[in-house]
């Protein structure tokens, strides 16, 4: 009988953006698979409220790591030498808007938070992955890796950079240490609510009309749930996901048109 091994006992996961949305759901899913969790974000109160939930879900241990990915030096100091065999690169998406109206600063902020943030976390934990002979890095990006999304110019640009970073690393990391991207579609989180309000404000449509327009483009006929992204990630970081490497997997209810 073939057993699908999803067990993360003995592993530690550093989950960034763990105080809300997809990151929070991912921390809980990895805890339920038996991983110890280091939950990183800026809001201490949110992280501390999450810790007992992580322990109740099955994590042998759970700690909060308050860090701002916009502060590279402080983040590097916080994760230097951290023991983690699983790294979830996940952070707040850039605000909406056209690239023609974006400033150099908008692009620099996004590059620092996403690409330099991921590079900093990766370099902090890579030695412990190498020592364990087991490593999994997941980047939470966007379907815009495949199809740029109108009015999300800075976000589209930075997701492409992250996908290229990940593909490059997939060739450099040794056997047993994989990196993959998950691409959320419309997922029911605070991020989506703020984008919804932004589109309503810009177009004059009601927020419910904006939502109806989004859902109409999804063959599955509804928003994604953060737990559905988390379940995909839990598989990819498990022993069962060992031969999947350098890939971008959309979890979007079928919205993308690309094959």
> Which tokens belong to 105?
């600063």
Of residues 39, 140, 163, 233, which one binds ligand NAP by CB under 6 A? 140
> Smallest distance from the beta carbon of 81 to ligand NAP, in angstroms?
20
The reply to whether 113 sits near ligand NAP by the rule CB under 6 A is: yes
Q: Which is nearer to ligand NAP, 64 or 134 (CB)?
A: 64
The reply to whether 238 sits near ligand NAP by the rule CB under 6 A is: no
The reply to whether 182 sits near ligand NAP by the rule CB under 6 A is: no
Q: Which is nearer to ligand NAP, 92 or 241 (CB)?
A: 92
Handedness of CA 191, 197, 201, 203 (dihedral sign): positive
Pairing of strands 86-89, 12-16: parallel
The reply to whether 20 sits near ligand NAP by the rule CB under 6 A is: yes
CA 210 to chain centre: 25
The reply to whether 78 sits near ligand NAP by the rule CB under 6 A is: no
| CA 181/CA 230 separation, integer angstroms | 12
The reply to whether 110 sits near ligand NAP by the rule CB under 6 A is: no
Q: Which residues contact 171 (CB under 8 A, 6 or more apart)?
A: 246
| CA 62/CA 60 separation, integer angstroms | 7
How big is the chain, counted in residues? 259
* Binding region for ligand NAP (CB under 6 A): 17-23, 41-43, 46, 68-70, 90-93, 113, 140, 142, 184, 186-187, 189-192
């Amino acid at each position: 009988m073939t057993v699908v091994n999803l067990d993360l006992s003995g592993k530690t996961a550093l989950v960034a953006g763990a105080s809300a949305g997809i990151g929070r759901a991912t921390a809980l899913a990895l805890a339920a698979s038996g991983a110890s969790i280091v939950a990183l974000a800026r809001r201490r109160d949110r992280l501390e409220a999450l810790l007992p939930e992580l322990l109740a879900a099955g994590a042998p241990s759970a700690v909060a790591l308050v860090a701002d990915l916009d502060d590279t030096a402080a983040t590097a100091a916080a994760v230097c030498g951290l023991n983690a065999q699983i790294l979830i690169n996940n952070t707040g998406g850039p605000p909406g808007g056209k690239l023609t109206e974006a400033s150099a600063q908008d692009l620099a902020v996004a590059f620092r938070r996403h690409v330099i943030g991921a590079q900093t976390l990766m370099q902090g934990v890579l030695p412990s992955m190498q020592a364990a002979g087991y490593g999994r890095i997941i980047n939470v990006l966007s379907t815009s890796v495949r199809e740029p999304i109108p009015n999300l110019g800075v976000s589209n640009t930075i997701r492409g950079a992250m996908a290229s970073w990940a593909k490059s690393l997939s060739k450099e990391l040794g056997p047993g240490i994989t990196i993959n991207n998950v691409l959320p579609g419309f997922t029911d989180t605070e991020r989506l609510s703020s984008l919804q309000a932004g589109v309503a404000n810009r177009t004059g449509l009601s927020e419910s009309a904006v939502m109806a327009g989004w859902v109409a483009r999804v063959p599955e006929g509804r928003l994604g749930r953060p737990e559905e992204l988390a379940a995909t990630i839990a598989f990819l970081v498990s022993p069962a996901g060992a031969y999947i490497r350098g890939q971008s997997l959309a979890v979007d209810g079928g919205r993308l048109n690309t094959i």
